[in-house]
Amino acid sequence: MSTVAGMDASLSRRTSPVSAPAQAAEGPVGQFFEWFGDLIIFFWQVVRAAVTPPFEFRELFRQLDEIGSKSLPLVALAGAATGVVLSMEARYSLTRFGAKSLLPAALVFSIIHETGPIITGLVVSGRVGAGIGAELASMKVTEQIDAIEASAVNPYRLLAATRILACILMLPLLTLAADLCGLVMGWVAQAVAEPLSFHQFITSGFKGADFNDFLPPTFKTMVFGLIIGLIACFQGMRTQGGAAGVGRAATSSVVLSSLFVILADVVLVKFILIFFP
C-alpha cells in the first residue's frame, strides 16, 4: 500500500506542474490559433471547390442581388450621412485656420480615400455578415448542408464560394455608391451654409487628383469583401448547438468580420501609401 501511495504522489507531482502550462496554452491564445488554422483550411477548401466545375452561376447571380442590391439603400444612407457630417466638421475646422477654400478638396479626398471604403465595409459586415452567418448556421443545425452533400453537391461550391465571390465583386460598387452619396450630400451641406455650385465644388475638389488617388482605395474593398464573406461562411458552416448556435454564429460573424476589416484597412493603407504615393 505504501508503495502504491508513493507512486500516486510521485505521479501527481509530475503531472501537476505540466498541466498548468498545458491549460494556459489551451486558453484564448491557443483557441485563436486553432480557429485561424481552421479558417485557412476552410478557405483552401472553398478555393479548390470554386475552381472545379460545375460552376454555380445561378446561385452566384442570386447572391449578387442579395448582397449588392439589397445593401445599396443602407450603404447610400450611411455615405450621405457621413458626407454631411464631414462637410460640417471640415468647414468649422478649416475656417478656424483660414483655409476654407480647401473644403471641397478635403471633403473629396477624405471620403474617397478612407471614409467611404471603411464605412461601406462596416455597414456590409453588419448586414451581410449577420445574414450569411445566420442563414448557413440555420442550414447546418437543421442538417440541410448534410442533405446537400448527400445529393452529390459540394456545399463549399454552392454555399460558400458563391457568397464570398459575390461579396468580393459587390463591395467596390457599393463603395462607389457610398462615395457618390457622400460627395453629393457634402456639397448640399456646403451649399446650405454658403452658395456654391456643384460644378465649382467638383472642379475644386478633384483639382490635382489622378486615378492613383481613387482606384486603390476603392479596390481595397475587395479584400473587405473576402474577409466578410469568408468569416461569415466559416462561422455559419461550423455551427453547433441548435438555435443558440445560430445566434452565436450571427453575432460572431459580425464582430469578427468588422474587427478584421478594420485591421485589414490599417495594413492596406500602409501598402497603398508605399506603392501609390
The domain ranges of the chain are: 57-275
Cell of 263: 485591421
Mean pLDDT along residues 121-145: 91
CA distance 144 to 138: 8
Quickly state the pLDDT bin for 26 (edges 50, 70, 90). low
Strand, helix or coil at 1?
A: coil
What rounded mean pLDDT belongs to the chain? Answer: 85
Query: What's the whole-number mean pLDDT along residues 213-225?
Result: 90
Give me the percent of the chain exceeding a pLDDT of 90: 44
Which one-letter DSSP state was computed for residue 68?
A: I
Q: Which three cell numbers stand for residue 194?
A: 454658403
Mean of pLDDT values over 59-65: 92
Confidence of residue 20 (pLDDT cuts 50, 70, 90): very low
Specify the higher pLDDT residue, 157 or 24. 157
In this predicted structure, what is the pLDDT of residue 22? 45
* Range of 100-104, 179-183, 210-214, 236-240 with top mean pLDDT: 179-183
**Do the Cβ atoms of 94 and 100 come closer than 8 Å?**
yes
pLDDT range class, residue 196, cuts 50, 70, 90: confident
Considering only CA atoms, which of 126, 160, 127 is closest in space to residue 258?
126
In degrees, rounded to 5, the angle at the alpha carbon of residue 72 between the alpha carbons of residues 114 and 39 is 70
